[in-house]
Amino acid sequence: MSLAVRLESASTEFQKIQLELQNAVEARQRLDAQLNENELVKKEFAQLTPDNVVFKQIGPALIKQDQAEAKSNVDTRLSFIQAEIKRVEGQLKDIQQRQEKKKAEVRG
């Protein structure tokens, strides 16, 4: 394979890796936003008294929900989001390593 063909192939692969990295960064940003939102909800729940009523929005309707269940749901979501963040962080690290290897390959 000629040098030009190998360089073009490596360059194309590098661009694919960059796109993959961009998608992973966007996923990480979405997860951060979800984490912040759920942490705010958890803080609000911490201020509730047993007499406060909690509602859950289902479509256009608000349905009364048990406080303990609502708090448990938020804690479960937080755990899931944190696990997803760890997974995406691992992906980001892997993608960045592949990107560095490909960058070195493209430079020759």
Q: Do 103 and 14 meet the contact criterion of CB atoms below 8 Å apart?
A: yes
Q: Give the mean pLDDT of the chain.
A: 93
pLDDT in tens, 14-45: 899 999 999 999 999 999 999 999 999 999 99
At 54 the three-state DSSP class reads strand
In the predicted model, is pLDDT for residue 108 greater than 80? Answer: no
Mean pLDDT calculated for residue range 80-108: 91
The residue count for the chain:
108
Model confidence at 10: pLDDT above 90: no
What is the structure's pLDDT at 14?
A: 86
Q: How far is CA 20 from CA 26, 45, 80, in A?
A: 10, 37, 23
Whole-number pLDDT of residue 1: 64
